[in-house]
Structure 1
């Protein structure tokens, strides 16, 4: 199949006229190609003309913005080096730091053009790199696969009159709420998905993954008044993979929306990207495809507009005088991608509705995604969530694919999905941990053979700290099933003004360079180099630099300033086990694009 086209989403300054695709000067935001990610360089702050000398406050802000952009670029490029070297954890820390510096700077990002450009550039680049790691199977999520239509990119189809005639006969008994047409173009895709081993496997896996989301998506389509069989548009877009990302255009998610802030009523910032939320993005898809249908009055043209852009389709109709997809196809007025896009989706619908005729009876659909939802208004680390729900970080990442980090956002409410049946347990257990400690503290249920010392060692904390927070008296033994709050210390790198400082740690009795290095995820040699140490001996009370400037330690990513309180307000220890956006639709002339 030919190279995918990028569509342009109208900016706010564009008048929503049906015949325009976008502002002439506006181009889609390009995410970097993962194989050759760019090195970001600082964008100079534009200086005013001599005749327009700004006041002192303006000059001071311009200087501060330039310094911030320089720091952000340094952190991003450090992450880029780590990414290229395969050090994904270190890269993630650097990338998080580059975004955190802007979010916590105290500056109005959107009102300062240079800073807004920097924010959009960094977030787009980081998202592309992090999701590319997932595509390679190096993240918490499974390795991403090509969508079926992507797999058919270079395939050509010869007419098969016999197959077309048989399909027309079968169509009489195929029940669908979407208008189905069979011709040589549709038959070509059915032939490919049936006889090509690669095409058949890709379609099979897509339909298996669909089982996880089918009930939810079809419910949304029904509520929005959209044919439920349009669920199979996801076969063409992503193969039902919620974290699918196009490295060239930056389009992402199951429905492959472009990364424009606020478009389609989906939130996108340094913490979350709702294009990757299966439920919210499906709602956005249903509303957008219905809007396109209302504009063109034809489902095939609506699909073409979804792929190529409504402005492009409108112009093709006006040029030829034909508001008919197949006529535009035959006259060569559509790009190759769109020519394949519509018949490919029709083929997927027909085959999914008739599995026995097309050797799809071996499909083993993934079980429906079921989960509890808890609104979270402050930051919570997913490792803590995994602790209190007796699940794993991988499970939580799978349930919350829109999260760009292993921590929920600050300053906004996030609908956190947790394993079904764990909501009550989550709320009881999380209440034992102060809100400002939930980015670093952990939760642990005592297992057989464990002691306070062994638990402290596993979390790299001191046993006395666990005892203090949980009101455990000296000499008291732990019982099987006891629930403990683990006070893992955060490392804070960002001040209230947004300045980034070197991370330091004060040596405590019993610490060694090895235990400190292990605690902060660095090497002993790095500690020696950063602190100019000539030996491995360190004395209690000595302050050590535990990371390079501008890099966040794992526990400190997005952490709030440590409060003066050292204890949880509620004891979590017991002698026996106890349970402790306004929607913004794109204009009718806007265009989404992906690949």
Structure 2
């Protein structure tokens, strides 16, 4: 095991200054996905049950933690110190001998006076008082934890001072040879003492587990040497070097007698430990006033983590600085707490934040799932399956087909995925046809789209092109809607389903019906999945489509010898494309005896719908953007604003586009 040689000042902080709660993100100018994330985070946090216990925090402590200003200076200072160099300091040799004798009486270590130890103590008292004031504040957090681990293994509690020498009580300390953590374990030694190390976790930096491992190591070495001074020496240089020093010293087994035969850095290791113990025990006598830790170890607690979560997500949800999470959970290497099937990981938090976490655990994990669902993935399986099916369908098509080229002008809010779904092609095809390098739809550009059409169908398609053009609206089998002209204003907007949404709430939000939503999105039931994109037509367009609905009659045509789709289409005055759509035909081949469904429009019913439409419009008014009650009243002679309010039970003057007002007439 390679051990850091010198006491390094503690760069410590337990808690940072209070952080302002997450504010609402401005909607204007942001992308829909960012709006959704911010709104979802705020909606989660607004429902949190908060604990009334106040957190004691101080930003200066956090600066101490993240600052490495004294590390290099102290390392160089102690590395180059000469134990034989006299240091002038107001501490008499006799008084020092007396105090060392007092320490020896209550300690299992062999604490004896020697000039080198005196010089080191005086040097630190003269030059490093400020460093020890900061170290003693950090000790209030770590020492109770160390003492508990040492006591379990029946190891002297004074060993806790060794962590000051090893790492300056910095759990993230890493030596030049890779020794890591409070107790500076090397990789192989850490593995030997069951400290788990992988890409996410390094338990050498875990204060609890590393302290248990260090106590076990000390206990094992004591069974070999039977002397705690030699145990300390072996912790620094390894038991083999201590055994060599004993042999080279003629069998002597006292540290001070074999010290000259130990490695150079180990020669100053035990004196550094004893000097640290002395300064901690007699700091009052030397005017050292420790800084006070604002939050001590017993004011924190742990909670088991059931789903992988990042420090960033915890910081956003709990309003706790990431630096504070890093301090309290130093074993997590990449600021992520993973979840394994065979091992539980724990999160340490201040006591009040633990209460906040456990009171809202389900909501926190719901937000994590939402964040993970929004993460970009390399290639989704459903896209692969969809493209594969399209390739298979293309290969199975008859040879007598031709290609038609269509153009789609990209409008605001559209993306390649929505355009591809509209024309039943893949995103990869769109990019290939239009030489696009990214997945961004170029606003205002006309995209080229190729569609295959059967040769026998060409004439019929040309005759019926006005009815079929770009398939403005899908027709469901339960509710047939005519494909009469719908203006470009009917271009649908896309709505991403959020947590807590259902079809009813979405329909109310956009002033449409559930049936409309199901029809526009080819939905067989009312179930809707999170993050699904739904087509939403404007209220005016929805009304127009509903008013254009006509009754239809289904008849069955039995295919006889000599029939083909073009002949059947002409016979029933429909298009080949309609017959293919109604009967789910991918090609033009039909078998003799097959039964084809033909939908015939009832012109009488269509006239009745038109009459009802005229009547409905004379008795009601669909509110449009910019309308006001006074402007609407002027459209109907003899009707006043008061009449409209009375007939529609309106108390104020606010109108929303899409509202239908009753107009009873005069």
Which residue in the other structure is 1:554 paired with? none
Q: 1:346 aligns to what SS in structure 2?
A: helix
Post-superposition Cα deviations, 1:278-302, rounded to whole Å, max 9, x if no partner, equal: 1221111111112212211111110
Would the alpha carbon gap of residues 434 and 400 (structure 1) be closer, same or farther in structure 2, given more than 3 Å must change?
A: closer
Mapped contact 2:158–2:277 kept (Cα < 8 A)? yes
Give the CA deviation at 1:159: 6.4
Separation (CA, whole Å) in 1 of partners of 2:365 and 2:444: 31
Give the CA deviation at 1:439: 6.5
Separation (CA, whole Å) in 1 of partners of 2:358 and 2:411: 34
Q: 2:257 aligns with which of 297, 308, 327?
A: 327
Which residue in the other structure is 1:63 paired with? none
Separation (CA, whole Å) in 1 of partners of 2:193 and 2:84: 39
Would the alpha carbon gap of residues 434 and 385 (structure 1) be closer, same or farther in structure 2, given more than 3 Å must change?
A: closer
Give the CA deviation at 1:406: 2.1
Q: 1:341 aligns with which of 251, 269, 286?
A: 269
Would the alpha carbon gap of residues 215 and 539 (structure 1) be closer, same or farther in structure 2, given more than 3 Å must change?
A: farther
Q: 2:96 aligns with which of 144, 147, 167?
A: 167
Would the alpha carbon gap of residues 292 and 388 (structure 1) be closer, same or farther in structure 2, given more than 3 Å must change?
A: same
Which residue in the other structure is 2:465 paired with? none
| Alignment of structure 1 residues 294-305 onto 2, 5 Å | 294-305=223-234
Post-superposition Cα deviations, 1:365-392, rounded to whole Å, max 9, x if no partner, equal: 5641332211114311222223443322
Q: 2:243 aligns to what SS in structure 1?
A: helix
Which residue in the other structure is 1:143 paired with? 68
Q: 2:303 aligns to what SS in structure 1?
A: strand
Would the alpha carbon gap of residues 433 and 183 (structure 1) be closer, same or farther in structure 2, given more than 3 Å must change?
A: closer
Separation (CA, whole Å) in 2 of partners of 1:360 and 1:378: 46
Separation (CA, whole Å) in 2 of partners of 1:141 and 1:386: 17
Mapped contact 1:210–1:366 kept (Cα < 8 A)? no
| Alignment of structure 1 residues 372-387 onto 2, 5 Å | 372-387=301-316
Which residue in the other structure is 1:406 paired with? 335
Give the CA deviation at 1:335: 1.5
Would the alpha carbon gap of residues 336 and 431 (structure 1) be closer, same or farther in structure 2, given more than 3 Å must change?
A: same
Mapped contact 2:83–2:117 kept (Cα < 8 A)? no
Q: Does 1:415 align with 2:346?
A: yes
Q: Does 1:308 align with 2:233?
A: no
Separation (CA, whole Å) in 1 of partners of 2:221 and 2:337: 34
Give the CA deviation at 1:149: 6.2
Give the CA deviation at 1:227: 1.3
| Alignment gaps of 5+ in structure 1 | 8-136, 442-486, 497-506, 514-529, 543-564, 574-595
Give the CA deviation at 1:206: 2.3
Would the alpha carbon gap of residues 139 and 327 (structure 1) be closer, same or farther in structure 2, given more than 3 Å must change?
A: closer
Separation (CA, whole Å) in 1 of partners of 2:365 and 2:143: 39
Mapped contact 1:251–1:258 kept (Cα < 8 A)? yes
Q: Does 1:152 align with 2:65?
A: no
Which residue in the other structure is 1:288 paired with? 217
Q: Does 1:355 align with 2:283?
A: yes
Which residue in the other structure is 1:183 paired with? 114
Which residue in the other structure is 1:214 paired with? 143
Q: 1:372 aligns to what SS in structure 2?
A: strand
Q: 1:438 aligns with which of 365, 368, 374?
A: 368
Give the CA deviation at 1:306: 0.3
Separation (CA, whole Å) in 2 of partners of 1:340 and 1:508: 75
Separation (CA, whole Å) in 1 of partners of 2:159 and 2:445: 65
Give the CA deviation at 1:258: 0.7
Mapped contact 2:302–2:349 kept (Cα < 8 A)? yes
Would the alpha carbon gap of residues 231 and 531 (structure 1) be closer, same or farther in structure 2, given more than 3 Å must change?
A: farther
Mapped contact 1:434–1:569 kept (Cα < 8 A)? no
Mapped contact 1:271–1:408 kept (Cα < 8 A)? yes
Post-superposition Cα deviations, 1:402-431, rounded to whole Å, max 9, x if no partner, equal: 111122124242111122133343134231
Mapped contact 1:232–1:348 kept (Cα < 8 A)? yes
Separation (CA, whole Å) in 2 of partners of 1:434 and 1:385: 10
Separation (CA, whole Å) in 1 of partners of 2:158 and 2:262: 24
Give the CA deviation at 1:317: 1.2
Separation (CA, whole Å) in 1 of partners of 2:145 and 2:446: 56
Give the CA deviation at 1:140: 8.9
Mapped contact 2:2–2:184 kept (Cα < 8 A)? no
Q: 2:262 aligns to what SS in structure 1?
A: coil
- How many pairs are equivalent? 340
Mapped contact 1:266–1:281 kept (Cα < 8 A)? yes
Give the CA deviation at 1:493: 4.5
Separation (CA, whole Å) in 1 of partners of 2:411 and 2:167: 52
Give the CA deviation at 1:393: 2.0
Mapped contact 1:383–1:393 kept (Cα < 8 A)? yes
| Alignment gaps of 5+ in structure 2 | 4-61, 382-409, 417-434, 448-495, 506-666
Mapped contact 2:195–2:210 kept (Cα < 8 A)? yes
- Of Structure 1 and Structure 2, which has the larger fraction of its residues in strand? 2
Q: 1:252 aligns with which of 150, 162, 180?
A: 180
Mapped contact 1:141–1:397 kept (Cα < 8 A)? no
Would the alpha carbon gap of residues 318 and 440 (structure 1) be closer, same or farther in structure 2, given more than 3 Å must change?
A: farther
Higher relative contact order (CA 8 A, sep 6+): 1
Separation (CA, whole Å) in 2 of partners of 1:405 and 1:186: 41
Post-superposition Cα deviations, 1:87-116, rounded to whole Å, max 9, x if no partner, equal: xxxxxxxxxxxxxxxxxxxxxxxxxxxxxx
Separation (CA, whole Å) in 1 of partners of 2:149 and 2:302: 17
Separation (CA, whole Å) in 2 of partners of 1:139 and 1:512: 48
| Alignment of structure 1 residues 228-239 onto 2, 5 Å | 228-239=157-168
Mapped contact 2:317–2:364 kept (Cα < 8 A)? no
Which residue in the other structure is 1:95 paired with? none
Post-superposition Cα deviations, 1:529-559, rounded to whole Å, max 9, x if no partner, equal: x9747999458999xxxxxxxxxxxxxxxxx
Which residue in the other structure is 1:97 paired with? none
Post-superposition Cα deviations, 1:297-356, rounded to whole Å, max 9, x if no partner, equal: 111110000000011111221232111110112xx2012110100011001101110112
Separation (CA, whole Å) in 2 of partners of 1:354 and 1:398: 29
Which residue in the other structure is 2:12 paired with? none
Separation (CA, whole Å) in 1 of partners of 2:220 and 2:437: 64
Separation (CA, whole Å) in 2 of partners of 1:272 and 1:570: 38
Separation (CA, whole Å) in 2 of partners of 1:299 and 1:353: 19
Give the CA deviation at 1:567: 6.0
Mapped contact 1:381–1:440 kept (Cα < 8 A)? no
Q: Does 1:317 align with 2:246?
A: yes
| Alignment of structure 1 residues 487-526 onto 2, 5 Å | 489-493=374-378, 510=413
